[in-house]
Amino acid sequence: MIRLLVLLASFLAFPAAAQERCIATDGDTIRCGNTRYRIVALDAPETYRAECQYERNLGYQAAGRLAHLIYTRRLEIVPIAGRDKYGRTLAVVKVGGQDAAQILISEGLARFYDGRTRRQSWCRPGQPHSTVLR
């Protein structure tokens, strides 16, 4: 159900007519036209290559929340130098004047991530891990 809501929300146009249409593709990525932006300073749970069902579910929640933020508030994307290993432009993303990363982190839908340390697992202790979940 959450997956369906995220997909439906991604087809809604951003309300500001002058703003290029942007969609949240997951909890840490926004696509505007042909440009994909990786939000810096956060790690959001995965949806496509989740290690466990808990991570996948939380990933859909994070993506849905980011979609809601970018569709209901003024969106500002500030690209910074560099790209990530997937070719996404690194950027600070603000919604309604607030840092989107800080909002997601404060709501427990993402963690601070400096890009240098090893990513922590989102799976709960004792939960089966599988990188094959789809």
What pLDDT is attached to residue 7? 41
Which domains are seen in the chain, by residue range?
A: 2-14+21-106 (2.40.50.90)
Q: How confident is the model at residue 10 (pLDDT cuts 50, 70, 90)?
A: very low
Q: How confident is the model at residue 132 (pLDDT cuts 50, 70, 90)?
A: very low
Q: Tell me whether residue 127 is exposed, middle or buried, using C-beta atoms within 10 angstroms of its C-beta: 0 to 12, 13 to 18, 19 or more.
A: middle
pTM above 0.85, yes or no: no
The proportion of the chain whose per-residue pLDDT surpasses 90, expressed as a percent, equals 66
Tell me the pLDDT of the chain averaged across its residues: 84
pLDDT in tens, 87-114: 999 999 999 999 999 999 999 999 999 8
pLDDT in tens, 44-72: 999 988 999 999 999 999 999 999 999 99
Check whether 15 has a pLDDT greater than 90: no
Q: 31's torsion region: left (phi>0), alpha (psi -120 to 50) or beta?
A: beta
